[in-house]
A and B are shown apart, each in its own frame.
Chain A
Amino acid sequence: MQRGIENAKLTMALLTDTTDVFSASEASERCAVLFIASALGTAARAPTAAATVWPRVAAVLQGFSEQGWHLSLRQMIEPSSKIGPMVFDTGFAHDADYVGVFEAPDISSALAGTVQLEQAGWSSCYATRWLLGSREFAAVHAQGPSIGRDWGFIALWEWNDAWAAADAEERRAYDAECDIAFQHDLALNVNISGRHRLDFASSWHHLGMWEADRPDTVDAAMLGHEDAADFRFTTSRHYIGQRKPLAQMFGIASGEPL
């Protein structure tokens, strides 16, 4: 970002209240950068992607890491994690081949970072929707034994017209019911990223992400949200994918940690 531009310090107000599960203790200027990427023909699989695009993208990501970015959902949930940049392989279930998330120190860095990545050659391989969102709620950790969780579930939602027309008491009752579903998610040994607020630069209002051991667990979690009438007041879009090194997007078989 060009130096000298005044960045007004900002911690956005919550769009909806905290709950028993979700705390605003880590509400901050940190800004999620969600990307939803569809391959442009075969460019990402061409030898030139691995030879020329990936080294430039990796150099940009290395710079981000040094500036305090988190480069995976894993690192957003466990900041001490040394895992390298990661994505979720979503092509088997969606029109997007990859969905991934970073977390930048602030909104300006996030916005400029999307341009840097595109200019490093990312845009020659992928058509990408970049969504930015400041952190509202802290990550919530699973209840259960330590297990591998290499599946990601990415939820975008907006508060719909029915929510907008509801009164404060109806919204409180709804939040309390949804909290039961979120408790159920944690009991399924799922990690939740917290919540980010997207609405200043999207039609989506929020981003939430889960780390789960397998798709069946995500399905069980969603049944719980259906039972809690979660989707009465939200219109949602969900992605599911298996975690892979981001280098795979550019034809590198195994990514080295940055």
Chain B
Amino acid sequence: MNTVVWIHYARPRPHWYALCATDQAAHRSTWASVAAASAEGGAHHVGRYHVRGQHDYETVEIWQFASAERAADHWARLTAAGYNEWFAFANNLGLATHVQP
């Protein structure tokens, strides 16, 4: 049961725009495989939404994980794949309100 929500805001860092489309696609493919591994592990990807019109970031992505550790592990694998070096971000964790802490 996924009791933790993970909310991820992101926007490209300036040097991302200097990458050619091929290099950008290669990075995105690597990060997509990280996300796929999380989903195979039981995480639920609610979706990715455009928020640039009313936020400091470009997109918000929402995931549900079985635990805070699973969310942290997802992020650790993304950063190990260099994601944080190309995108600025803000993350949040939340515990489902039906869970008795």
With contacts A8-B73, A164-B86 taken as known, whether A13 is within 8 angstroms of B80 at the C-beta atoms is yes
Does B84 have its Cβ within 8 Å of any Cβ on chain A? yes
Closest B residue by C-beta to A204? B90
Closest B residue by C-beta to A12? B76
Can you list, as one digit per residue, whether each of A116-134 has a CB less than 8 Å from chain B (1) or not (0)?
1001000000000000101
For residue A36, give the distance in angstroms from its CB to the closest CB of chain B. Answer: 15
Interface residues in B60-101 by Cβ distance below 8 A to A read 66-73, 75-76, 79-80, 84-86, 88-93, 95, 99-101
For residue A150, give the distance in angstroms from its CB to the closest CB of chain B. Answer: 32
Q: Is the CB of A200 within 8 A of B85?
A: no
Instruction: Report chain A residues within 8 Å CB of B3.
Output: 2, 5
Q: How many chain-B residues does the 8 Å CB contact rule pick out?
A: 33
Q: How far is the CA of A47 from the CA of B79 in the complex (A)?
A: 48
Q: How far is the CA of A251 from the CA of B44 in the complex (A)?
A: 44
Q: Is the CB of A2 within 8 A of B99?
A: yes
Does A216 have its Cβ within 8 Å of any Cβ on chain B? no
Q: How far is the CA of A110 from the CA of B93 in the complex (A)?
A: 11
Does A111 have its Cβ within 8 Å of any Cβ on chain B? yes
Closest B residue by C-beta to A115? B101
With contacts A164-B15, A165-B13 taken as known, whether A202 is within 8 angstroms of B101 at the C-beta atoms is no
Interface residues in A201-242 by Cβ distance below 8 A to B read 201-203, 205
Does A15 have its Cβ within 8 Å of any Cβ on chain B? yes
Does B1 have its Cβ within 8 Å of any Cβ on chain A? yes
Does B14 have its Cβ within 8 Å of any Cβ on chain A? yes
Residue from B4, B80, B93 having most chain A Cβ neighbours under 10 A: B93
**A–B pairs, 22, beta carbons within 8 Å:** A5-B66, A7-B67, A10-B72, A10-B76, A13-B76, A13-B80, A29-B69, A107-B68, A108-B69, A113-B101, A116-B101, A119-B101, A132-B93, A161-B13, A161-B15, A165-B15, A199-B75, A201-B6, A201-B72, A201-B92, A202-B92, A203-B90
Chain A residues engaging chain B, CB cutoff 8 angstroms: 1-2, 5-10, 12-13, 15, 29, 106-108, 110-113, 115-116, 119, 132, 134, 159, 161, 164-165, 199-203, 205
List the 10 closest pairs (A to B, CB-CB), nearest first: A203-B90, A112-B101, A200-B75, A201-B93, A200-B72, A107-B68, A115-B101, A165-B15, A164-B85, A12-B76
